[in-house]
Structure 1
Amino acid sequence: MRLLALTLAAVAVAAPTFAADCVPSRADASKIERLDAAWREALANARRDHRADVRKLGALANPKAGLKGRPQPSPGLYRCRTIKLGSQGAALSYVAYPYFRCRVELTAGGDLRLAKISGSQRQVGDVCPVPGRLGDRRTLFLGGLGLGADRAPAYGASRNTDAAGVIERIGPNRWRMVTPWPAYESKLDILELLR
């Protein structure tokens, strides 16, 4: 985890190596640095009342499931669903939404973008490389969260709509985006992407 903290600090300091929108805010860098703690707290909280449901998730809910090589999903359409683990206050400690649609696209400028294109909570943002040793296992996601009929704002527009996390490949044609300490409801959000 210390290596990720140093990597994110290097990203924040070495902004010229990334597009301006691929540098996490200090608050989001701190959340990502505390990813292990988010996993621990969220899983403990969710398992208290939903042990069987969490077990059924398999690799999706295993913090160590990230595979080496190809951490970013390739362009195309995906089935995707959100799993919310842990509770911030009175929210449920486990929620598994049905599958919706997501799209990964390569922009004209060569950037990779991920968009959840259906559902009431939709993340849209950039998939950015992580420099160093962790770069072969995960990528960084920085984007905005659209709620209800509202469009997802750009990353940095508001702490309440910013979404920052890591993307990992966890199986053949299967990825997850893990968002630690999101602004609403849970301690950890997992967006599963299936090809």
Structure 2
Amino acid sequence: MTRATLLALLAGAALTGCARDGLSLVETPPETRWRAVTTDQDRDRLRDWRKAWVAALPAARTADTGVIEREGALFEPDRAMANAIPPAGDYRCRTFKLGARREDLRNFAMLPWARCRIGREGEMPVFAVLEGDQRPSGTLYAESDARVIFLGALELGDETRALTYSQDRKRDMAGYIERVAIGRWRLVLPYPSFESQLDVIEMVPAG
């Protein structure tokens, strides 16, 4: 899928649904089928989400206690509110990398704010980060009222074509979206292939 195609799909989704708080609603996704399409690698990642938090959060807190404490609910592993699926529309996202995968890497990093979007591809909601050197994009699957599964891939640097899930094992990403406050969501990615033990992507409405 080219970046232009992805942007068109995401932009079109913002015109559907009912309006609430200035954003269009994404309908609740169909009953989950994520288990049928998930790779063995990503089943393990999703199953071990708590292990990732337990390993990564103390290391990140040691590296930058101030940010971890200031962001509050964003870094509370069991924080999950009802209505987890974000409304379709434009968002601002920033990525936090917790716990280094190797000794030569940092235990905490915070990337700049970037544009991101919740859209739709056919029946399914999709999510994409649209700016920056690391841009996850993928499909959202219903799991429960408090958790939505994300399966996607990572686009890097000046690449213009987003990979499809399971096309490249090293680029595959699996995680879950939770609502942690009014107008605030997070995408949690346990054991990404590069740099960190856990990525947390904060999502807030643009504008």
TM range (shorter): 0.7 to 0.9
Q: Does 1:84 align with 2:97?
A: yes
Cα shift at 1:152: 2.6
Q: Does 1:117 align with 2:130?
A: yes
Give the count of matched residue pairs. 173
Aligned position for 1:139: 148
Q: CA offsets, 1:42-65, max 9 Å, x none?
A: 011112221222111211111011
CA distance in 1: counterparts of 2:94 and 2:69, whole angstroms:
17
Match of 1:165 among 175, 181, 190: 175
Identity %: 35
Q: Show structure 1 runs of 4+ deviating over 6 A.
A: none
Aligned position for 2:196: 186
TM-score by length of structure 2 reads 0.80
Aligned position for 1:94: 108
Q: What SS is found at the alignment partner of 2:192?
A: coil
Residues 144 and 154 in structure 1, CA contact (< 8 A), matched pair in contact too: yes
Q: What SS is found at the alignment partner of 1:41?
A: helix
**Structure (1/2) with the larger helix percentage:** 1
CA distance in 1: counterparts of 2:98 and 2:130, whole angstroms:
22
Cα shift at 1:33: 0.6
Aligned position for 1:174: 184
Residues 150 and 174 in structure 2, CA contact (< 8 A), matched pair in contact too: yes
**Structure (1/2) with the larger strand percentage:** 2
Aligned position for 2:164: 154
Cα shift at 1:19: 5.4
Aligned position for 1:104: 118
49-58 vs 33-42, which deviates more? 49-58
Q: Which runs of 5+ in 1 are unaligned?
A: 1-16
Matches within 5 A, 1:41-52: 41-52=55-66
Residues 71 and 137 in structure 1, CA contact (< 8 A), matched pair in contact too: yes
Aligned position for 1:61: 75
Residues 165 and 178 in structure 1, CA contact (< 8 A), matched pair in contact too: yes
Q: CA offsets, 1:55-101, max 9 Å, x none?
A: 1121111101111x211111100010100000010211001112100
Q: What SS is found at the alignment partner of 1:30?
A: helix
Distance change (3 Å), C-alpha of 1:22 and 1:80: farther
CA distance in 1: counterparts of 2:135 and 2:35, whole angstroms:
18
- What residue identity is the alignment partner of 1:155? Y
TM-score by length of structure 1 reads 0.84
Cα shift at 1:20: 7.4
Q: Which runs of 5+ in 2 are unaligned?
A: 1-30
Distance change (3 Å), C-alpha of 1:46 and 1:155: same
Q: What SS is found at the alignment partner of 2:83?
A: coil
